[in-house]
Amino acid sequence: MFTLKHLIKPPLTKGFVQNVLTRCLFSQKGSGSKKYYDIIIAGGGMIGTTLACTLGKNTRLSGKRILLLESSKDSLYVLPEKYSNRVVSLNPGTKKSLTKIDAWKHINEARFATVKRLQIGCDGVNSQVRNAMGVHYLNWKYDNTGVVATLTFSEEFDNCIAWQRWLPTGPIALLPLNNSQSSLVWSTIPADAKKLLQLTNEQFVDAVNEAIWKVFKHNSYVDQVLKTFDGFLRVSNCSPGLNRRYPPKIVCVEEGSRNMFPLGFGHAASYVAKGVALVGDAAHRVHPLAGQGVNLGFGDITCLDNVLGEAAYSGSCLGNVNYLKVYETKRQRHNMSMMAGIEGLYRIYRSDLTPLVLLRSLGLQTIDVLNPVKKMVINHAST
């Protein structure tokens, strides 16, 4: 079992972020209905709504008309008392983007025939904008389904560390919500996920506790090498601290919070074409094991905002593919390295081949004691 430092507390529910962003959007732009738009954004999820707010705040784009389209029913968002089962952990780069559009302060406080110059697809994994562009989309399904739920611990404690443990069937992770609750993301084989959803609340809690605490048979060869390596680190005075903490027992699952989501990988070969750009899950989809999916999308927003500002400043059309290509190149360079890293981790952790088990265990132990390398990994994940 190993710990991941939780980057920003508290984690945020998707509906809550969207509500804050929508309020920001309407406080910036009137809802007048002219027929002409410079930019049309398809998809008002977290990424589409943030993008609309960001572009609306860009002084170089002032005077441009932006339309945000969302297919789901318009309903007034009321912050529920209970946490939703879809929680995301946001990295410092994302916090910066949300601060820029005045959305972070709210989060912190609470917890017709149109002509367009640029259409932006923020319409998620099954993007119709991407389909219409006809770009090649490399994708596959994982033999993993994500089970989510809101869990309550047996006692209160300083719950500020996100936990992840790799089980033979996939990772189980706990993201802190408050001192007594965490959000569960348990990736497992689809048959097990279905069973987990059918269990009674008590049986489900037992299954989660077992998954967190069960001791699995260790590979004695790997254990021996790790012990020797640990001894070497201690002699070299660079042993990791022993202040690892374990989560307390789970006693309860929030009624109705259990749900499951299919998991997959996807990457569009092109993010742009003349007058069109893809942002967020419409362009890329990753396994949630590193909690990076939406953060990649927020990074896209910052980059596209800069590129469109440049285009407007130099008097170019917003749909000019030469500018859009700059966005594509920058973001693909960043996203593909992150996606390859996540995919590599997924494959290494799924394997029980002794050399791979040894490689990942030694790798983790080494990163843990080499502060510059640890900082480099965290920095890359935070941008």
Ligand X SMILES: Cc1cc2nc3c(=O)[nH]c(=O)nc-3n(C[C@H](O)[C@H](O)[C@H](O)COP(=O)(O)OP(=O)(O)OC[C@H]3O[C@@H](n4cnc5c(N)ncnc54)[C@H](O)[C@@H]3O)c2cc1C
Rule CB under 6 A: is residue 318 a binding residue for ligand X?
no
Contacts (Cβ under 8 Å, ≥6 apart) of 328: 270, 271, 272, 277
44 binds ligand X (CB under 6 A): yes
Which sign does the torsion angle of CA 75, 80, 83, 85 carry? negative
Q: Can you tell me the distance from the alpha carbon of 181 to that of 146, in angstroms, rounded to the nearest whole number? A: 19
Report the residue number, 226 or 260, with the smaller CB distance to ligand X.
260
Nearer to ligand X, 42 or 205 (CB): 42
Least separation in angstroms between CB 332 and ligand X: 16
Binding segment for ligand X (CB under 6 A), chosen from 58-66, 229-237, 286-294, 360-368, is 286-294
If phi > 0 it is left, if psi is from -120 to 50 it is alpha, else beta; for residue 89 that is beta
Q: How far from the centroid of its chain's Cα atoms is residue 246's Cα?
A: 24
Closest CA to 148 of 116, 184, 179, 181: 184
Nearer to ligand X, 93 or 275 (CB): 93
> Is there binding between residue 295 and ligand X (CB under 6 A)?
yes
Nearer to ligand X, 52 or 226 (CB): 52
Binding mask 110-139 for ligand X (x = CB under 6 A): ------------xxx---x-----------
| SS3 state at 303 | helix
Say how many residues touch ligand X, by CB under 6 A: 30
Residue 292 within binding range of ligand X, rule CB under 6 A:
yes
**Residue nearest ligand X (C-beta atom):** 45
Q: Which is nearer to ligand X, 122 or 357 (CB)?
A: 122
Q: Both tokens of residue 326?
A: 């700059």
- Determine the interface stretch with ligand X among 67-75, 188-196, 223-231, 317-325 (rule: CB under 6 A): 67-75
Among 294, 301, 311, 324, binds ligand X (CB under 6 A): 294
Q: What SS3 class is residue 67?
A: strand
β-sheet with 276-278: strand ranges across: 66-69, 39-42, 118-121, 276-278, 272-273
Our finding on whether 265 is near ligand X (CB under 6 A) is no
d(CA 275, CA 365) in angstroms, rounded, equals 48
Q: Per rule CB under 6 A, is residue 170 in the interface with ligand X?
A: no
Cα dist from 163 to 3, 127, 160, whole Å: 5, 32, 10
In the complex, minimum distance from the CB of residue 359 to ligand X, in angstroms, rounded to a whole number? 26
Q: Return the residue of 170, 297, 299, 319 that touches ligand X, per CB under 6 A.
A: 297
DSSP per-residue letters across 229-281? HHHHHHHTT-PPPS-------EEEE-TT--EEEEEEEEEES-SEETTEEE-GG
List of residues contacting ligand X (CB under 6 A): 42-48, 69-72, 88-89, 122-124, 128, 146, 148, 185, 261, 280-281, 288, 291-295, 297
